[in-house]
Structures are given as structure tokens and as C-alpha cells.
Chains A and B, each alone.
Chain A
Amino acid sequence: MTISINEYLDKDLIINNLKAKTTEDIFQALSEMLLKSNYVKDSFYNGLVERENKFPTGLTLGKYNVAIPHTDAIHVIKPAIAIASLKHPVVFNNMDGDGQVEVNIVFCMVLKEPHSQIMMLQQLMLLIQNEDVLKSMNEAKNSDELYDIVSKFESNLEKIV
């Protein structure tokens, strides 16, 4: 098994029930956290904001919707996935430019070069397509629980494959 979600997860990169009103609030919280743990450069926040304005990352899935903000590799020191579940949904623009979506969970993808991360990206897509997992993430009581849900999801995947 090549590089998978678990190798990109870090207990210090998870926020449960983030109180945010705007996408900028969310990006601020995520960037601060990533900066503190040396995953990104100072420029990461602006990178996220600019990129989201030009190319939004909201994904309409159904009951629970997600956003997958990310930005250019030049702002990144080492790759990771930072996760924030939101206390109240925040409006994002849909990725394909077709309207808006109320987002419950944000997966911030901190990415370096393209092809090496394919496995992680595919697993992340499988995860967001699983409504049960999103539901339990949304209902998690603390960040440890949130971390466990995501890391367990990956071990279950390995069993299937």
C-alpha cells in the first residue's frame, strides 16, 4: 500500500466544531494551525483565499457537504490534510461554478507535487462520498474522536481492497 490518508493526518491538524461565519474565518484557523506545526509558509493563508476566490472548492454531496480548499505547492513545506468540522454550516461556492453550498466539514489539502498523492486523494474522495462517515464526523464530540473516524475509515478500506 502506498502513501495513504493516515500518513497525511496529524492530531494537531484537526479542529472539532469550529465556529466560523465566513470561508476566511475557516482559512485563518486552518492556516494558523498549519503554520504553528511547520507544515506551511506564511503565504499559505493568502494562497488559500486567492485560490478559493478564483477556483472555489465546495462540493454538494447531499445531507452533509464538504469543501476541499487547497493552494499552490509554493506555499507548502510538507504535505498534510487538515480537517475542520464546522459548528454551523458556512457557505462556499460550488467547485463547478454552479451555485453555492452550505458546508459542514472542511478538508484542507496541503499538497506538494501531483502524482505521488493520488492514493491519498482517491481515498479522500471515497471518504467524502460516504454519508455515514460524514455524519459521524459532524457529530464527533472532540478532535480525537474526529481523528479516529478518519483514520479508521482508511483501515477499513484496506480490508476491502
Chain B
Amino acid sequence: MAKQKVVLVACGTGIATSTVVCKKVEDLIKANNIDARVIQCKISEVPGYEDDADLLVTTTIASRTYKIPVIKAINYLTNVNTQKVDQAIIDALK
């Protein structure tokens, strides 16, 4: 069996917008039968998780480059073109 993927969901404080995005990503994973778990954190905490994660989904400014792919999820807050973000996350986890 393939290893379970790890998705980091990060915002500036790790309590507000990432909570909303977290829920969206968890629902998306479930709906598409993807074997993955979600970790919610502050963007400043990403380096600590990065080595074991497969994808970073964030609502805030990604201030540096990361070892893992980064997807901007501000669309989940404004509800514009969310299918595009959905698809990008699904593709990144395949």
C-alpha cells in the first residue's frame, strides 16, 4: 500500500482562514478517496513539518521557497474558481 500523503494547511496565525481551508481540503480528500491527512499550522511552522509533508496549501504569502509544492487557496475564501484549486490539490496528491 502506498504511504499516506500529508497535506499542510497554513495561514498566518494558524487559527482563522486555515481552519476554513482545512475543512475544504479534508472534504475534498474524502470525496475523492485520497489517502491523506491534513495538518493545520502557522506558515512559520511549515519548516518543521516540511520534510514529512507532500503538499502545502496556504491562504497567505509563501515568503520563501519550500521543498514541497505550494498551492494558494485564497479562492476557497472568496469562492472564485474553487474547482481549479480542487483539481490542483487532487493532481498534487496523485
Contacts and interface: CB of A to CB of B under 8 A. Distances in A.
Interface stretch (B28-36, B45-53, B74-82): B74-82
Interface stretch (A21-29, A30-38, A68-76, A143-151): A68-76
Contact of B60 (A72, A95, A114): A95
A68 B61 contact: no
A121 B19 contact: yes
B15 A114 contact: yes
Contacts, number: 71
Given A59-B74, A59-B77, A118 B20 contact: yes
Contact of B61 (A61, A96, A111): A96
B12 A121 contact: no
Contacts of B59: 95-96
Interface in B39-72: 40, 43, 59-61, 72
Contact of A121 (B20, B40, B74, B78): B20
- Of B11, B12, B14, B60, which is in contact with the most chain A CB atoms at under 10 Å from its CB? B12
A138 interface: no
B51 to A, nearest CB: 23
A14 to B, nearest CB: 20
B16 interface: yes
Contacts of B83: none
A2 B50 CA distance: 34
B17 A95 contact: yes
A120 B76 CA distance: 15
B23 A68 contact: no
Interface string A118-161: 10011001001100000000000000000000000000000000
Interface of A: 51, 54-56, 59-61, 68, 70-73, 94-97, 109, 111-115, 117-118, 121-122, 125, 128-129
22 contacts: A51-B12, A55-B11, A68-B16, A70-B15, A72-B13, A73-B15, A95-B77, A96-B61, A96-B74, A111-B13, A111-B16, A112-B15, A113-B15, A114-B15, A114-B19, A118-B23, A121-B16, A121-B17, A122-B23, A125-B76, A125-B77, A128-B78
Given A111-B16, A114-B15, A121-B16, 5 more contacts: A55-B13, A60-B78, A61-B78, A96-B72, A111-B13
Smallest CB-CB A-B distances: 4 pairs: A55-B12, A97-B61, A114-B15, A129-B79
